[in-house]
Amino acid sequence: MDKIMTSKHIIKSSDFIKLANNIKESGRYLLGIVANDERSINSKFNIRYFFGGKNIIDEYSIPVDENFQSVSKICPAAKMYEREINDLFGLTPLGHPDLRPLMLYPENWDFSVHPLRKDYDNLIPEFKKYGDYKYKEVSGEGIFEVLVGPVHAGIIEPGHFRFSLAGEPVLQLEIRHFWKHKGIEKICEGKDFNEALNLISRVSGDNNVNIAVSYLEAVENLLNVEVSERAKHIRVILAELERIWNYVRDIAWIFMDIGFALPAQNLFALQEELMRLNKSLTGHRFMFNALVPCGVSVDFDSSKLFMVDNIIKKVEKAIKECEAFILNSSTVLDRLEFTGKINKKTAEELSLCGISARASGLPRDSRVEFPYLIYEKFNLKPVLRESGDVFARTALRIKEILLSVKIVGGLLFNLPEGEIISLCENRVEAYKYAVGNAETPRGNAFFYIMADDGGKIFRLKYIDPSFRIWPSIQYGVLGNIIADFPLINKSLNLSYSGNDM
């Protein structure tokens, strides 16, 4: 873990623009942008740009008064972050191509109120219309629009999609998100690490274990504690079990969306068995609150270990059969191949992560790049595909399930003895901050946490992989027919909740 090099640079906004190109060319990619109101500490706002590479995290810190230079034109991945900062802090990214409000809707929010500023008085603007949100326009002969959502037809989360079409193929897709913006970062401020964990588990419920792993990486770094080997092993087992149930569900949905109900339902049944296993192991079907600061709240005895062993064997067999079924069925391949292609260049420009990056040939896997817990000892290599289509993302999930099964299988009967919770009475230094990384089933989960002078949270920023990946669908659907959109969407299976925060 200590092999990750972090280098910190403090730099002027105008100089950073000149540097941004070099950073990009060095192969580093944007992990996140974090704004922080530090006026009470050093009379400035601070905007921190984090770039990642193998075993490296570069941080560029820019002191800001009220505006800063946008880097979106050089680094398109920065676009959404800069819009977010414009909303929540009222700091303007100069030269940004699109400064429409992001999560604070003009339909109900007064844009002069920026809730993440420390001098925000907690007064909530009256619920009324303050302005309009302007959608992009596509015009021309024969062009028509299809509007979908925010409330969708199925059991899914809300989001608004606008397709512009000419005949069958999609010409443009515009997504409007943040319907579920809950203001979680603000609620975390002033909370202690335990209280905040309860909220963090509910950022994106189906990925909560892996998100908590990332959060606790940052917290335990701040507290300067090392959790016991046993706790680390248990965290990895639970995190990989979460990955397995997520991917089993994702593959089931892909079968469902191409009309293969029987394999889909059998996989949904397997997902149910995995969730029942979660419950037997941790008392909760999603394993909420199984992880705690400085350890884990659940221990494994031999009966639990055998339960896990049994089910992962079943998963392995089922998934191998799935793989053969897909590869040998031309009707399945016909739907999956060349559909929803996100090419490597797009993936690079948007700083994608997780399955979405690996399916387009980018070797990004936080377990490998920023090894945490005990991942280093597995000597993992990111599993890659080049084609960037639905098939690549499906095939990767299959490979990754098998990899997770192998990881879990190898740990089960080699659990080190010891306590599951370490003693931690350390106090955090005032205004110290740390970052955390973990690979969720969707990709990299990134935390930035700064403590205040009483050991509570001064600023917490969480970046969900979905936040990075959502814009890429707008490229993935181009030229596809609208009927394939649900399939493309499911192949990425992003979280709305984690994105909207």
Partner 1 sequence: MSFLGKLLFKNKTQDIVSGNSDSGLIKGDELKRSVDGIFGRSLFVRLVDSGSCNACENELAALSNPYYDLERFGIKFVASPKHADVIIITGCLTRNMLNPLLKTFEFVPEPKFVITAGDCPETGGPFKDSYAVCGPVSKYLKVTMHIKGCPPEPEAIISGFLRFMDMLKTSKI
Name the residues that contact ligand SF4, by CB under 6 A: 202, 205
Cβ distance 467 to 80 under 8 Å?
A: yes
Binding at 99: pick from ligand SF4, partner 1, none (beta carbon under 5-8 Å per type): none
- Smallest gap from Cβ 454 to partner 1, in A, equals 19
Q: Which of residues 411-430 bind partner 1 (CB under 8 A)?
A: none
How many whole angstroms separate alpha carbon 110 and alpha carbon 463? 25
Q: What is the DSSP string of 160-213?
A: EEEEEEESSBEEEEEEE--TT---HHHHHTT--HHHHHHHHTTSSGGGHHHHHH
* Contact code string over 63-102 relative to partner 1, x by CB under 8 A: ----------------------------------------
Q: Is 146 helix (H, G, I), strand (E, B) or coil?
A: strand
Q: Which of 49, 178, 193, 370 binds partner 1 (CB under 8 A)?
A: 178
- Smallest gap from Cβ 158 to ligand SF4, in A, equals 13
Nearest in space to 441 (alpha carbons), one of 210, 278, 201, 156: 210
What tokens were used for 1?
């873990």
Q: Is 186 in the site for partner 1 (CB under 8 A)?
A: yes
Q: Is 1 in the site for partner 1 (CB under 8 A)?
A: no
- Smallest gap from Cβ 211 to ligand SF4, in A, equals 13
Q: Which residue is nearest to ligand SF4 (CB)?
A: 202
Binding at 115: pick from partner 1, ligand SF4, none (beta carbon under 5-8 Å per type): partner 1
Q: Is 111 in the site for partner 1 (CB under 8 A)?
A: no
Of 71 and 487, CB closest to partner 1? 487
- Smallest gap from Cβ 90 to partner 1, in A, equals 14
**Cα 313–Cα 492–Cα 100 angle in degrees, nearest 5:** 150
Q: Is 59 helix (H, G, I), strand (E, B) or coil?
A: strand
Of 200 and 403, CB closest to ligand SF4? 200
- Smallest gap from Cβ 431 to partner 1, in A, equals 24
Q: Is 496 in the site for partner 1 (CB under 8 A)?
A: yes
Of 80 and 184, CB closest to ligand SF4? 184
Of 53 and 125, CB closest to partner 1? 125
Residues 6+ apart with CB under 8 A from 340: 389, 390, 473, 476, 477, 480, 484, 487, 488, 491, 492
Q: Is 495 in the site for partner 1 (CB under 8 A)?
A: yes
Binding at 275: pick from ligand SF4, partner 1, none (beta carbon under 5-8 Å per type): partner 1
- Smallest gap from Cβ 155 to ligand SF4, in A, equals 13
Q: Is 153 in the site for partner 1 (CB under 8 A)?
A: yes
Q: Is 204 in the site for partner 1 (CB under 8 A)?
A: yes
Of 111 and 288, CB closest to ligand SF4? 288
Binding at 276: pick from partner 1, ligand SF4, none (beta carbon under 5-8 Å per type): partner 1
- Smallest gap from Cβ 151 to partner 1, in A, equals 5
Quote the radius of gyration of the chain (alpha carbons, Å): 22
How many whole angstroms separate alpha carbon 249 and alpha carbon 322? 13
Of 262 and 423, CB closest to partner 1? 262
How many whole angstroms separate alpha carbon 176 and alpha carbon 3? 40
Of 292 and 405, CB closest to ligand SF4? 292
What tokens were used for 134?
């302007």
- Smallest gap from Cβ 155 to partner 1, in A, equals 5
**Cα 304–Cα 305–Cα 308 angle in degrees, nearest 5:** 90
Q: Which of 11, 199, 307, 421 binds partner 1 (CB under 8 A)?
A: 199
How many whole angstroms separate alpha carbon 500 and alpha carbon 104? 11
Query: Where does residue 427 fall: left (phi above 0), alpha (psi -120 to 50 degrees), or beta otherwise?
Result: beta
Q: Which of residues 271-330 bind partner 1 (CB under 8 A)?
A: 271-272, 275-276, 279, 285-286, 288, 317-318, 321-322, 325
Strand partners, 292: 295
How many angstroms separate the Cα of 162 from the Cα of each of 134, 159, 170? 12, 10, 10
How many whole angstroms separate alpha carbon 283 and alpha carbon 286? 9
- Smallest gap from Cβ 182 to ligand SF4, in A, equals 10
Nearest in space to 387 (alpha carbons), one of 328, 441, 351, 337: 337
Q: Which of 1, 5, 146, 151 binds partner 1 (CB under 8 A)?
A: 151
Residue 458's Cα: distance from chain center in Å?
22
Q: Which of residues 238-267 bind partner 1 (CB under 8 A)?
A: 249, 262-263, 265-266
Nearest in space to 35 (alpha carbons), one of 196, 243, 186: 186
How many angstroms separate the Cα of 224 from the Cα of each of 220, 332, 385, 426, 501? 6, 51, 38, 7, 28
Q: Which of 79, 96, 181, 232 binds partner 1 (CB under 8 A)?
A: 181
First to last CA, the chain: 28
The position carrying tokens 């050093």 is 42
Cβ distance 86 to 64 under 8 Å?
A: no
What tokens were used for 446?
């990134």
Binding at 151: pick from partner 1, ligand SF4, none (beta carbon under 5-8 Å per type): partner 1
**Binding region for partner 1 (CB under 8 A):** 103, 105, 107-109, 115, 122, 124, 127, 150-151, 153-158, 178-184, 186-187, 198-199, 202-206, 208, 249, 262-263, 265-266, 268-269, 271-272, 275-276, 279, 285-286, 288, 317-318, 321-322, 325, 495-498
